[in-house]
């Protein structure tokens, strides 16, 4: 069996038992990349040289009998919006095509400190805006399960890289489902932690009140391991929580007595087609019930406003977060300018893609004088109502179950040109970000040979509940 098809925790076990070396782990993945990357295009940049050096250092440490970190020898793929010192970080945009950051994001520092190995930077929708990775300036990433199908997005490269065994684990960012949805589409586990659980320092913001770094893995245990390696309070991030970090084990995880809520609002929604997805969801629910979980329908009345609320707040934040990309200090600068205004306008016009421009425009509108009261400010109020609905629900329930995506992974060019349809597919994922909760998508079966994800949502800093539930569920269905 190839090393690259092992689970991350298996690799580490073998590494610590000296059955394999970090260099062997790495070369197995490099070989895999060599073989499949030309079809998948999961990466924008691969840093072979430094990865090899880092793997050698891990092997030296082990040979010297030194302690190694919990991610020892694991090759990690990073979404290309996570800053890596001296390694190009593009956000999949022409704007930052040649941007080389002078500093590491906190998560990158933590991976290095835990002896993980940064293998490369993965493809994504431009500035994390999109659900298919088709808005990337660096070409499409293919779904390893079917090369005609999108990998989802925006962290499509990170999901595909894990699904294709190019890396055992990877990081993405999740603003409205950008980790969970591609995980669902590629048939891997995607974990979006609570807002404040993982430092955002060094992660190019899309919508800073919604963004959170998440992990991709081939099973729940790997996702848990990775979260352990990257979570914790960070003084460099004002929104990082003192409660951040996890400290529990997966032993004895079971579903007995788990109180599960199902939002009525989702049951009553008429979502496009895909009846088979719903049947799969019913099957999953019966697994939970059989294992002793208690399932009840609850009402979260404001969920029906989640999409509109999300797209107002997120685009408003996008419009200000991307303002710094103005062609003055770094990034793309047009040659077609005479005045300062032209420098700004033309640089941004030439370097941003269509979806990015669309969202900047929408966000600028939502924040404009005369409009911000009925859009931005109202959305902030609705956001609080949604949060309150969840708070109420979690008083009586441990987790909420739903689909991750209402639709099956779709072919290229099918809906990327219908933005509203694309946005609607975020129905199940965006409320989680609005309320700052944690959620995980894990495979629950297939329809037409395409993977379908189950979403388990938990209250803020209740990662233990969703991870244990996911772990127990995964054991049963395998």
What DSSP letter does each residue of 302-340 carry, written as one string?
GGGGHHHHHHHHHHHHHHHHGGG-SSSSSS---S--SSH
Task: Return the sign of the alpha-carbon dihedral for residues 315, 377, 195, 388.
Answer: negative
Instruction: Among 77, 151, 193, 205, indicate the residue that binds another protein (CB under 8 A).
Output: 205
> Is 92 exposed, middle or buried, given 0-12, 13-18 or 19+ CB atoms closer than 10 A?
buried
Instruction: Please tell me whether residue 361 binds another protein under the rule CB under 8 A.
Output: no
Three-state DSSP at 169 gives strand
Active site residue 79: yes
- In the bound state with another protein, the residue whose beta carbon lies nearer, of 103 and 248, is 103
Rounded to the nearest 10 degrees, what angle do helices 463-477 and 220-230 cross at?
160
Q: Which of 28, 79, 142, 465 is catalytic?
A: 79
Instruction: Please tell me whether residue 81 binds another protein under the rule CB under 8 A.
Output: yes
Instruction: Among 201, 332, 352, 428, indicate the residue that binds another protein (CB under 8 A).
Output: 201
Instruction: Among 146, 334, 364, 462, indicate the residue that binds another protein (CB under 8 A).
Output: 364
- What does the alpha-carbon distance between residue 154 and residue 174 come to, in Å, rounded to a whole number? 8
Q: Which of 136, 154, 170, 231 is catalytic?
A: 154
Active site residue 178: yes
- What does the alpha-carbon distance between residue 262 and residue 296 come to, in Å, rounded to a whole number? 6
Instruction: Please tell me whether residue 249 binds another protein under the rule CB under 8 A.
Output: no
- In the bound state with another protein, the residue whose beta carbon lies nearer, of 259 and 333, is 333
Rounded to the nearest 10 degrees, what angle do helices 22-40 and 48-63 cross at?
160
Instruction: Among 65, 102, 257, 273, indicate the residue that binds another protein (CB under 8 A).
Output: 102
Instruction: Among 23, 24, 97, 237, indicate the residue that binds another protein (CB under 8 A).
Output: 237
- What does the alpha-carbon distance between residue 1 and residue 16 come to, in Å, rounded to a whole number? 19
Three-state DSSP at 469 gives helix
Instruction: Among 16, 63, 147, 236, indicate the residue that binds another protein (CB under 8 A).
Output: 236
Q: Which of 178, 184, 319, 405 is catalytic?
A: 178
Q: How many CB atoms lie within 10 A of CB 419?
A: 16
Residue 217 CB, shortest distance to another protein, in Å, is 23
Q: Which residue has the tokens 């998508």?
A: 441
Instruction: Please tell me whether residue 337 binds another protein under the rule CB under 8 A.
Output: no
Tokens standing for 70?
A: 């919990």
Tokens standing for 301?
A: 């009345």
- In the bound state with another protein, the residue whose beta carbon lies nearer, of 72 and 92, is 92
Interface mask toward another protein for 271-310; x: CB under 8 A? ----------------------------------------
- Report the residue count for the chain: 478
Instruction: Among 27, 239, 414, 462, indicate the residue that binds another protein (CB under 8 A).
Output: 239
Tokens standing for 358?
A: 């669309």
Instruction: Among 319, 404, 429, 433, indicate the residue that binds another protein (CB under 8 A).
Output: 319
Residue 80 CB, shortest distance to another protein, in Å, is 11
Active site residue 478: no
| Nearest in space to 194 (alpha carbons), one of 472, 473, 457 | 457
- In the bound state with another protein, the residue whose beta carbon lies nearer, of 369 and 420, is 369
Inter-residue contact 441 to 386 (CB < 8 Å): no
Instruction: Among 276, 291, 308, 326, indicate the residue that binds another protein (CB under 8 A).
Output: 326
Number of residues forming the site for another protein (CB under 8 A) = 45
257 Cβ contact list (under 8 Å, min separation 6)? 292, 293, 294
Q: Under the rule (CB under 8 A), what is the footprint of another protein?
A: 81-83, 89, 91, 96, 99, 101-103, 105, 200-205, 208-209, 235-239, 316-317, 319-320, 322-326, 328-330, 340, 344, 364, 367-369, 372, 376, 380
Known catalytic residues?
79, 154, 178
């Amino acid at each position: 069996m190839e090393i690259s098809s092992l689970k991350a925790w298996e690799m580490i076990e073998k590494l610590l038992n000296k059955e394999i070396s970090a260099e062997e782990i790495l070369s197995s993945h490099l070989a895999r990349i060599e073989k499949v990357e030309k079809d998948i295009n999961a990466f924008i940049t691969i840093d072979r040289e430094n990865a090899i050096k880092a793997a050698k250092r891990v092997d030296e440490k082990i040979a010297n009998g030194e302690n190694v970190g919990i991610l020892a020898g694991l090759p990690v793929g990073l979404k290309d919006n996570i800053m890596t010192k001296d390694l190009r970080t593009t956000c999949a945009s022409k704007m930052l095509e040649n941007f080389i950051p002078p500093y590491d994001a906190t998560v990158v520092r933590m991976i290095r400190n835990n002896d993980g190995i940064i293998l490369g930077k993965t493809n994504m929708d431009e500035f994390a805006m999109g659900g298919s990775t088709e808005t990337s300036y660096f070409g499409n990433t293919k779904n390893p399960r079917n090369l005609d199908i999108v990998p989802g997005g925006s962290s499509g490269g990170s999901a595909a890289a894990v699904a294709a065994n190019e890396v055992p684990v990877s990081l993405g960012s999740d603003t409205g489902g950008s980790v969970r949805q591609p995980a669902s589409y590629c048939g891997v586990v995607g974990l979006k932690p609570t807002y404040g659980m993982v430092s955002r320092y060094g992660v190019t913001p899309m919508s800073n009140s919604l963004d959170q770094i998440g992990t991709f893995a081939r099973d729940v245990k790997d996702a848990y391991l990775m979260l352990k390696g990257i979570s914790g309070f960070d003084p460099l991030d004002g929104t990082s929580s003192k409660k951040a970090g996890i400290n529990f084990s997966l032993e004895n995880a079971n579903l007995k007595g788990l109180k599960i809520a199902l939002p009525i609002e989702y049951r009553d929604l008429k979502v496009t087609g895909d009846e088979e997805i719903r049947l799969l969801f019913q099957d999953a629910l019966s697994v939970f019930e059989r294992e002793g979980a208690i399932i009840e329908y609850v009402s979260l009345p404001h969920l029906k406003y989640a999409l509109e609320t999300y797209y107002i707040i997120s685009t408003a934040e996008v419009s200000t977060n991307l303002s710094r990309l103005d062609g003055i200090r770094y990034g793309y600068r047009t040659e077609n300018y005479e005045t300062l205004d032209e420098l700004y306008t033309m640089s941004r016009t030439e370097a941003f893609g269509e979806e990015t421009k669309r969202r900047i425009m929408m966000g600028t509108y939502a924040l404009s004088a005369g409009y911000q009261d009925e859009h931005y400010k109202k959305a902030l109020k609705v956001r609080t109502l949604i949060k309150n609905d969840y708070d109420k629900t979690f008083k009586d329930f441990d987790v909420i179950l739903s689909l991750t995506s209402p639709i099956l992974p779709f072919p290229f060019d099918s809906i990327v040109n219908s933005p509203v349809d694309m946005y609607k597919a975020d129905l199940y994922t965006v409320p989680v970000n609005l309320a700052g909760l944690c959620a995980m998508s894990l495979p629950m079966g297939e329809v037409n040979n395409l993977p379908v994800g189950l979403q388990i949502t938990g209250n803020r800093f209740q990662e233990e509940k969703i991870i244990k539930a996911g772990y127990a569920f995964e054991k049963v269905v395998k």
